[in-house]
Amino acid sequence: MTLMEQIARADERGLAASALACLDRCLTPPDDGSDPEPLRPLWVSCETGREWAERLDAVHAALERAAFEGGGETAARVRAMLGAAPREFAAGPLRAWADACSLLALDIHREFDFPAGDADALELYRSGGSAGGGPLVTGEVLRQTEILEVLAETPGTAGGGTGLRRVLDLSAEGRRVLRAVMSRRARGRALGTGSGH
């Protein structure tokens, strides 16, 4: 099943958790001593939707206050996408948001890929195509698909906690990969700037 098909079939829990995982992977670490996992409170609400709107407001406010190390445009895009999250925990609005989060995560991975791929091809990758995709984008498509599969296999509250823990592990793995690439890119830019003096 393609990533697009997975998103189309996911329930509220799957949509909320997969969208949140996409944003979580792309968020750079804060450098001002604030919570290193600022999205964490929202994970609790993914299971049943309880206190979703309240937690959403609190997390967004925390992100607006935090300063992110080397985040720049990427952190701003993640904050904007979190700000666009639906306050209603329902399949329709969550599906549209999860779809947008999926594309954002893929586009951020594309920007840090080597070589950087074509943004117009992202929809093709989500529909099962892979030709021309770089390693970061290809890995992110597979990760998003696996996360939705895990959530679909552990529906509801019975055993659902296990599914969300697996999603957190998968997302953390992807976050480490992307942050390592971001860090190397930042060091390369710093060295390039230094050599110009």
Provide mean pLDDT across the span 47-52. 92
pLDDT range class, residue 24, cuts 50, 70, 90: very high
- Length of the chain counted residue by residue: 197
**CB of 143 closer than 8 Å to CB of 3:** no
Provide mean pLDDT across the span 25-31. 79
**CB of 98 closer than 8 Å to CB of 85:** no
Name residue 126's amino acid.
Answer: R
Provide mean pLDDT across the span 162-188. 88
Provide mean pLDDT across the span 152-158. 70
pLDDT reported for residue 158 = 46
Provide mean pLDDT across the span 102-113. 94
| Contacts by residues 108-114 (CB-CB < 8 Å, ≥ 24 positions apart) | 108/26, 108/74, 108/77, 108/178, 109/26, 109/136, 109/137, 109/139, 109/140, 109/178, 110/134, 110/136, 110/137, 111/74, 112/136, 112/178, 112/181, 112/182, 112/185, 113/137
Would you say residue 131 has pLDDT above 70? Answer: no
pTM of the model: 0.88
pLDDT reported for residue 99 = 97
Would you say residue 133 has pLDDT above 80? Answer: no
How far is the C-alpha of 7 from the C-alpha of 5, rounded, in Å? 5
Would you say residue 61 has pLDDT above 50? Answer: yes
Query: Which residues, including other chains, have CB under 8 Å from residue 186's CB and lie 6 or more apart?
Result: 70
Domain edges within the chain: 3-191
In whole angstroms, how far apart are CA 19 and each of 13, 62, 152, 156, 177?
10, 18, 14, 17, 18
